[in-house]
Structure 1
Amino acid sequence: MKKSLFTITLLLLMTSAFCQNKLPFTKGINMLTYFESWNKGELPNLNKHEEADFACLKNMGVEVIRLPVHFENLMEPYATGKIYDIVFERLDKVCDWAEKYQIYLVIDNHSFNSEEEDNNPPSAQFYKEHLEAVWSQVAQRYKDRSQYIIYEIINEPKGKGDVASKWVKIQQGIIDLIRQYDPERDIVVTGADFSSIDTLVKMKPYKDPHLIYTFHFYEPFIFTHQGATWVGKEMIDLEGLPFPYDKNKLPELKGNTKGSWIQWQIENEYYQTGTEKFINSRIKKAADWAKKNKVRVWAGEMGAKTWIDSKYRLAWINATRTALVKNEIPYCSWGIDGSDGFLTSDKAGLIFPDDIDKEALEAYGFTMPDKKLSEKTRINITSQKPYLVYDGLLGKGCSKICWGNINEIRKDRSYDYCFSISYPGKQSGIKLNLPNKISGILGKDPQSFSISLSVKFTDKSQEFNLNLSDADEGAELPPWNITVKIKASDYKIGEWITVEIPFSRFTESGAWSEKANKWFESQGKYDWSRLCCIYFDFDDFDNKKADTIYIDDIVIKKM
């Protein structure tokens, strides 16, 4: 009897030890451009997702969400100061939704992620100061949250500068800092040089049982990033590279790709690296290291570009997912949307879940969401529920481009964040791109809708054109505009006022096509089904305007 009890106890201990090396999730997604801001002080699209999206993701089989947060641009002073209150308020909601739907949430510090910072990274000392500032605040705020909340110290520590040589010590210091507030929270750690497998397997694990070791997987890089504009001029011209390798289907190299390092890799390595065998061997390398060191490992990013030939892209995704599952390594696809996600393309205007590419979704290991849950996420415009375009934050599915003397500022208590347009300035504008869904809604009966915005003029000389613009599809389908002029002389000066304009008041005003590089006079061809953006034109070529215009609370309403 005693021997039996001893055997059972030993088995339980062995099982417990084995389970400790397993993560409580197997697959998930990165939730992109939600808490990401590429400019200092500029708020990200914090309205991009809502609770219904989390219910949808859970139904699809998502077990973990990695949430990239550009903390460095969302602190005052930059990178080392206090995290903005509004960022924490929205992050609190995301934590609530994750816990409610029992989805693990990795708060990923995605700072220093620009091309410039990749090539010229901050010093190790600045990294240290930034990480101390971020994690002293985050750990104190979320220390009492459930174990569904996980911290990731930083995304892809740089392989240049003095960061790489000092990274192990810096990371240990941040682990110790977090443990002062949160002793048992899971923390994601990684090696330097962009979280590569090769750097990971050289690491000596830290003496902390609550760590998750991560790597990112985009191998072979020349396949997954072919055509990417941010990798270098040689990669831009590469297209049609097949996966798996097939000598008879290799593309004819052109432009900057000819004679480059990419050509060398294709001719000398790709016959080996462009195979399922190679992918499995690389992922097995990480798995073997984890087993040897009795630690948990996770592929925090994996994916291939949406513009790659779909048969090759799907073959790569399936091969990579299969290798990860075989080696018992959980993974996250790099995005729902974006260049590696599972929407139909990376173009602006697409939204989740309306524009899901079913084949890509299933290749990543997920299933289509329940129709009733999907319906709850969809954009609709009623008299009781207008569509929010901008209220200091962009509305769901919107993006923006600003030029000239345009800023986003905190002006007063009732309008914390708003656009400011300063004069003098010959050319200034705001382009608010709308989700494709909007044109479908408005196109059915455009005359029953209006646009409303809050404006504060500060000088009677001020005026601007408000345009609703079609998509630019070149000379055959120019971006026709319909326009209304809004003049300060029609309103009170120095006070916030609400301007509501029925769509019936807009008149066609021609089109400038960037693609055709040509101006088109009005032809009565405006097409509501091609509406893609709201465009504010503040041009002042005659230098007649003065002071500042403020704009906020832009909504589309059902009248």
Structure 2
Amino acid sequence: MKKIFSIFIFLLCAGTVFAANPPRVNKTLPFHKGINFTLWLDGNEPHRVANFGRQDFEDIRSLGVDCTRLYIRFEEYSSGEPDYIIPDWLWKNIDDAVAWCTELKMYMIIDFHNDCDGDSKTRPDVEKILTKIWPQIANRYKDSSEYIIYEIMNEPHFRSGNLEADISKWNKIQGKILKLIRTIDTKHTVIVGAESWNSVTALLKLPDYKDYNIIYNFHDYTPMLFSHQGASWTIFKYLTGVPFPYDKNKMPPFPKDPGAKDLRWDYDNYERDSSENVLCKPLDEAVKFANKRGVALMCNEWGVSMQYADNAERINWYRMKAKWMDDRNIVRMSHDYKDLFGIFNSPSHFETFPQDVNVELIEAMGYKMPQGVKPRSKNWMETSYKNGEYVIYKDGVSKNTLCNPWLKCVRKNEFTSFGNKPDDNGGLYISVPSAEKYNAFMFEFNKSYDFTPFVNKNLCLEFEVKTTQKNFRLDVYFMDNLEASMGKKGFEWRATKSFTSRDGLNDGKWHKVRILLKDMKDGGAWNDLEKKWYNGEGLFNWNRIHKLAFDFIDGLTEECCIRNIVVK
């Protein structure tokens, strides 16, 4: 009671008291609040999907989440022009998520995602891409359960210089794609959104699509000066330490950097823009507009980056926004799960459910932590040991391990991916379609581990590889964490084993490779701070291992496949 009273007094003093009797959306959906899986298949790193599994879906469901949204870069993962064919490995991952959500009775939004960085633009010819891809999606999932929802496209933003023309253009394109989907699938709900990054202002200019199985959607990160302070991909990167709500005594000085000039309006108007009246007015307008059209309303992205915002103020922002949307019957989907806007105490991607969840944040969002869930092990050696071997990658990345490729494919529309092939017996493998010189595929452990017992027991690193690359050179190396153990920054010393075409691994067949750990040689270190290579100095140490790399020294023009990576 004391805590609740203190919160009330704080809000009262800050001039932020929840409005009474706001307008409510008339149409109610069977789901109300959810969490986005932002890194699931977003960007040019589809390997990250291996870091998500059924357990993650079960975890958010246990909080009371009744809907999730999967960010999928269909365009980038497709075959490209002219047909934009979706590959089998992508369908496999979506199919799994569809099955899990159906079993868990949790709604799932299939989101056609796109590049939304601050300097990005939506392609002028996006209509032809959507026209090719959406029939593939609709045909595949038209007979799936009612738990599946389509979202035509995330945050369109043509940025032609004529906003009204851009809004009109997008509204017409969206209408055409909606009709196209309906020629295939009349069952599933479709989410429509507005131009200008799904802004609520542009939402009010959406046409009446005469389809009552749709949801109007907008995104809400207001005030951006608070939610995106310091965000490297925005103009707000120049300012940190912004309080919420506005507090004159806490406001940082205006930044001196010349690039910050575009922040002047946001900075000077922050007191007004962080007030309840200003923040709630667009919500009320959107509610009235949705009711006029007889459709449901949702905000499928809202959140605050944890990187620079004060934790207590960030939690307060979530509490206020959640209540405002709940009072108006607006469905809400927080952005995101395990990243800067996530529900954990840090965005390290190694945070573990349930012990690392930001409990106060979860409660502010209207969820509850499940009871009786035991803390999960964060020790890779404990969680990876199965059948006499320590798994790094086998039908997916092992727990407490992260896949980090430093790869740039040499051909258009190629990405490092996970998938199945008929001769794999259903097993997953890592596929590198092509790569530039010195590109590497890395596995990072959640902390440094002592491999000395492995070396002393004559254990081996074992993996399988397949390629037809004519001039094939592969360096396999463990990297130690000198910074963690000695405080010397910039050095990650390597123990290396090199393979070339002479080893006969490039005949297009799977080959099992076994490397005795103690036979791996001191391979030097690349100092990224100095951009300089250092030859081995005898400083590599097996007691502080934190990475394993597969480095394509001469690059690849032919596919290289790797699977079943273990220490045994």
Which of the five TM-score ranges fits, normalised by the shorter chain?
A: 0.7 to 0.9
State whether structure 2 residue 412 is matched by structure 1 residue 398: no
Q: How far did 1:368 drift?
A: 3.1
Give the equivalent residue in structure 2 for 1:480. 492
Q: TM-score, length-normalised on structure 2?
A: 0.80
Q: C-alpha separation between the residues in 2 aligned to 1:458 and 1:83?
A: 25
Give the equivalent residue in structure 2 for 1:241. 242
Does the 8 Å contact 2:480/2:540 carry over to 1? no
Q: Tell me the amino acid that sits aligned with residue 284 of structure 2.
A: K
Q: How far did 1:434 drift?
A: 2.0
Does the 8 Å contact 1:33/1:44 carry over to 2? no
Give the equivalent residue in structure 2 for 1:341. 342
Single out whichever of 343-352 and 126-135 deviates more from structure 2.
343-352
Q: Tell me the amino acid that sits aligned with residue 206 of structure 1.
A: Y
Q: Tell me the amino acid that sits aligned with residue 536 of structure 1.
A: F
Q: How far did 1:305 drift?
A: 0.8
Q: Aligned runs of 1:201-280 on 2, under 5 Å?
A: 201-232=204-235, 235-256=236-257, 260-267=261-268, 269-280=269-280
Give the percent of matched residue pairs that are identical in Structure 1 and Structure 2: 26
Q: How far did 1:428 drift?
A: 0.9
Give the equivalent residue in structure 2 for 1:73. 76
Q: C-alpha separation between the residues in 2 aligned to 1:183 and 1:20?
A: 22
Q: Tell me the amino acid that sits aligned with residue 140 of structure 1.
A: N
For 2:393, which of 389, 393, 409 is the aligned residue? 389
Per the alignment, in what secondary structure is the counterpart of residue 272 of structure 2? helix
State whether structure 2 residue 475 is matched by structure 1 residue 465: yes
Give the equivalent residue in structure 2 for 1:331. 332
Give the equivalent residue in structure 2 for 1:291. 291
Q: C-alpha separation between the residues in 2 aligned to 1:513 and 1:394?
A: 27
State whether structure 2 residue 111 is matched by structure 1 residue 99: no
Unmatched 5+ stretches in structure 1: 1-17
Cα separation, partners in 2 of 1:461 and 1:330, compared to 1, 3 Å = closer
Per the alignment, in what secondary structure is the counterpart of residue 461 of structure 2? strand
Does the 8 Å contact 1:220/1:273 carry over to 2? yes
Single out whichever of 236-245 and 483-492 deviates more from structure 2.
483-492
Q: Tell me the amino acid that sits aligned with residue 38 of structure 2.
A: L
State whether structure 2 residue 562 is matched by structure 1 residue 552: yes
Does the 8 Å contact 1:411/1:417 carry over to 2? no
Q: C-alpha separation between the residues in 1 aligned to 2:464 and 2:252?
A: 54
| Partner deviation per Cα, 1:127-173 (whole Å, 9 max, x = no partner) | 22222212211111111112111111111122423643222222222
Q: How far did 1:61 drift?
A: 1.1
State whether structure 2 residue 431 is matched by structure 1 residue 418: yes
Does the 8 Å contact 2:123/2:158 carry over to 1? no
| Partner deviation per Cα, 1:235-281 (whole Å, 9 max, x = no partner) | 222110111100001112334268613133222x1111123443333
Give the equivalent residue in structure 2 for 1:58. 61
Q: TM-score, length-normalised on structure 1?
A: 0.81
Per the alignment, in what secondary structure is the counterpart of residue 175 of structure 1? helix
Cα separation, partners in 2 of 1:127 and 1:493, compared to 1, 3 Å = closer
Does the 8 Å contact 1:484/1:506 carry over to 2? yes
Q: Tell me the amino acid that sits aligned with residue 310 of structure 1.
A: N
State whether structure 2 residue 147 is matched by structure 1 residue 132: no
Does the 8 Å contact 1:464/1:538 carry over to 2? yes
Cα separation, partners in 2 of 1:105 and 1:377, compared to 1, 3 Å = farther
Does the 8 Å contact 2:26/2:291 carry over to 1? no
Give the equivalent residue in structure 2 for 1:455. 465
Give the equivalent residue in structure 1 for 2:317. 316
Q: How far did 1:378 drift?
A: 9.3
State whether structure 2 residue 549 is matched by structure 1 residue 535: yes
Per the alignment, in what secondary structure is the counterpart of residue 218 of structure 2? strand
Give the equivalent residue in structure 2 for 1:141. 140
Cα separation, partners in 2 of 1:502 and 1:298, compared to 1, 3 Å = farther
Q: Tell me the amino acid that sits aligned with residue 465 of structure 1.
A: D
| Partner deviation per Cα, 1:464-514 (whole Å, 9 max, x = no partner) | 432222447495355432413233445566354211224444455554443
Q: How far did 1:310 drift?
A: 1.5
Give the equivalent residue in structure 2 for 1:158. 157
Give the equivalent residue in structure 1 for 2:307. 307
Q: How far did 1:44 drift?
A: 4.5
Q: How far did 1:353 drift?
A: 5.5
Q: How far did 1:367 drift?
A: 3.0
Per the alignment, in what secondary structure is the counterpart of residue 313 of structure 1? helix
Q: How far did 1:101 drift?
A: 0.3
Q: C-alpha separation between the residues in 2 aligned to 1:184 and 1:377?
A: 43
Does the 8 Å contact 1:471/1:478 carry over to 2? no
The structure, 1 or 2, with the larger RCO (C-alpha pairs under 8 Å, 6+ apart) is 2
Q: C-alpha separation between the residues in 2 aligned to 1:413 and 1:456?
A: 15
Cα separation, partners in 2 of 1:265 and 1:510, compared to 1, 3 Å = same
Q: Aligned runs of 1:353-372 on 2, under 5 Å?
A: 355-369=356-370, 372=373
Does the 8 Å contact 1:337/1:351 carry over to 2? no
Give the equivalent residue in structure 2 for 1:500. 514
Q: C-alpha separation between the residues in 1 aligned to 2:468 and 2:209?
A: 59
Per the alignment, in what secondary structure is the counterpart of residue 48 of structure 2? coil
* Number of matched pairs: 521
Q: C-alpha separation between the residues in 2 aligned to 1:151 and 1:411?
A: 26
Q: C-alpha separation between the residues in 1 aligned to 2:70 and 2:195?
A: 20
Q: Tell me the amino acid that sits aligned with residue 144 of structure 1.
A: D
